[in-house]
Amino acid sequence: MVYDRTCRGRTARPGLSHAWWAGAKLYRSLGRLHAYRGVDSWDEALEWLAEYRADQPLAEVQYWGHGKWGSARVRQQVLDRRALDPGHPLHARLAAVRQRLLPGDRGLWWFRTCETFGARPGQRFAVELADFLGARVAGHTFIIGHIQSGLHSLLPGQRPDWSETEGLREGSPDDPQRAFWSRWKAPNTITCLRGRVPDGY
């Protein structure tokens, strides 16, 4: 698991990075993950994922941080469908992680980020990333916090079965502007304490 360690509060106030760090410690103590790292960039995140215990395969990657439709970011560095292009600066590191990730439904990359799989850009990213990694990918369509709505996953070759308007508060599927906050009655809702993608999601 990797998280964005750059989202700190002002002066003595805690930021989201403190919550992600605490969550990582809790998940580690419960045996829900084997290792975690706070990162300053996607370069650092992907390098660590590719090299940490490199003799062992990866069954699951979770990223905790910020997202928008079709992307996830560390600080201001964005990971989106452009990274799947061989000419992109992140491509080689992402391909190295792919080599370690178990294939098909034995492997999982889960964005625990706001609205990464929402609207048309999110659906396109989900499809292309699953095909690139050769493994299951998961992400959300709503703004997430301790309640996390709109969780969906795709295997390589699958197409989204959720609406392009799910989680969308303002704008259109092609030009999303604002997302709804997660809520209990929204589709496919879990809490931050749930460590697995439920069956059927």
Please write the tens of the pLDDT for every residue from 119-144: 999 999 999 999 999 999 999 999 99
- Residue 81 within a domain: yes
Confidence check: pLDDT of 91 > 70? yes
pLDDT at 28: 87
Q: Distance (Å, rounded) from C-alpha 81 to C-alpha 122?
A: 9
- Residue 26 within a domain: yes
CA distances from 197 to 131, 154, 188, 201 (A): 19, 11, 10, 7
- Residue 201 within a domain: no
Structure tokens at 160: 């989204």
Count up the domains in the chain and report the number. Answer: 1
pLDDT at 12: 62
- Residue 197 within a domain: no
**Average pLDDT, rounded, for the chain:** 95
pTM (whole model) above 0.85: yes
| Mean pLDDT in residue range 42-64 | 96
| Mean pLDDT in residue range 80-94 | 98
pLDDT at 45: 98
Q: Distance (Å, rounded) from C-alpha 40 to C-alpha 75?
A: 7
- Residue 66 within a domain: yes
Confidence check: pLDDT of 190 > 80? yes
pLDDT at 98: 98
Show the domain range for 123. Answer: 2-6+14-191
Question: Confidence band (pLDDT; 50, 70, 90) for 103?
Answer: very high
- Residue 182 within a domain: yes
- Residue 196 within a domain: no
pLDDT at 13: 65
Confidence check: pLDDT of 20 > 70? yes
- Residue 31 within a domain: yes
